[in-house]
Amino acid sequence: MRILIVDDEAELTNPLTRLLTREGYRVDAAFDGTTGSELIQKGNYDLFILDWMLPGKTGLEICQQLRKQGITTPVLFLTAKDTLDDRVEGLDAGADDYLVKPFELRELLARVRALLRRAGVEEYTTNNKRTVVEDLELDSQNQIAYRQGRVIELSEKESQLLQYLMENPGLLLTHAQIMQNLWEEDEQPSSNVIAALVRLLRRKIEVKGETQLIHSVYGKGYRFGVNENKYF
C-alpha cells in the first residue's frame, strides 16, 4: 500500500516516513503543496496525509482539487488548527479524518489503519507482537520502541536486550543470564559491553522527566520496571 505525506516540517515528516515504512507501507514525501500535487497526479496512492498550511499550495486546496477531480482516496489532515470551525472546514473540503498537532504517533498509525479499512484497501498484516510494560511499548521485529508519544529507534542488540528485560519485569537478570540470552556461546563479551549497552539503552528510553525503568543491582545485574526501592 502506498501513502503520500505532504508536510513542510522535516522533523515530523522524516521520522513519520521511517515509521510507516517499517510498518510495511510504501511511503513518498513532499515538503510543499506544489510538489505534493504533482506527485498526486503521477502516483497511485491509497492514502494522503496532508498538512493544512503548506508553501505553494495549502493542504485544503489540494484536498478540494482531489475531490473536484473525482479522486476518492482517503485524506488525513495534520494541522495545528484545532477550533470547531477549522475541523468543519477541513471535513467539508473532503478530508476523511483530522488529527491536531501535536499528536501521538500510535494514534496516527491507528487512524491510518482505520482509513485504509474504511476505504476497502487490503491492510498490511503482520504476526508481529508487541511487548508492553508500564508506558513503554516494544516492536522488536522492527526494532522500535514507543514511550510518551516518542518513537525510539533501536539497534539490534538494544532491541534484544530491551525485549529480554521487558519479558522479565521485576526479576533480577544477572550479567551471565544477559550474556547467554543475547550472544552465542563462542562470542560472549565482557560485562563492560553489557554495561555500555545498558547505558545506550537508558539514554533512549529514559529521557528527562520520565520514570526510570532499568535499575542496576550493584555487582549482580539489572531489574526492569517501575520500582521505588533501591537495589543492592
Mark whether 111 and 137 lie in a shared domain.
no
Mark whether 156 and 66 lie in a shared domain.
no
CATH of residue 50: 3.40.50.2300
In Å, how far are 116, 185, 189, 222 from 122, measured between CA atoms? 7, 43, 45, 43
In a domain, 125, yes or no: no
Q: What is the pLDDT, as a whole number, of residue 121?
A: 63
CATH of residue 220: 1.10.10.10
Q: How confident is the chain (232 residues) per 10-residue block, as mean pLDDT?
A: 91 87 88 93 90 90 92 90 81 89 83 84 55 87 84 90 92 91 81 90 92 92 74 40
| Domains contained in the chain, number | 2
Q: What is the pLDDT, as a whole number, of residue 125?
A: 46
Q: Domain range spanning residue 25?
A: 2-118
SS (H, E, C) 34-83: HHHHHHHHHCCCCEEEEECCCCCCCHHHHHHHHHHCCCCCCEEEEECCCC
In a domain, 232, yes or no: no
Query: CB-hemisphere CA count at 13 Å for 45?
Result: 28
Which pTM does this prediction carry? 0.59
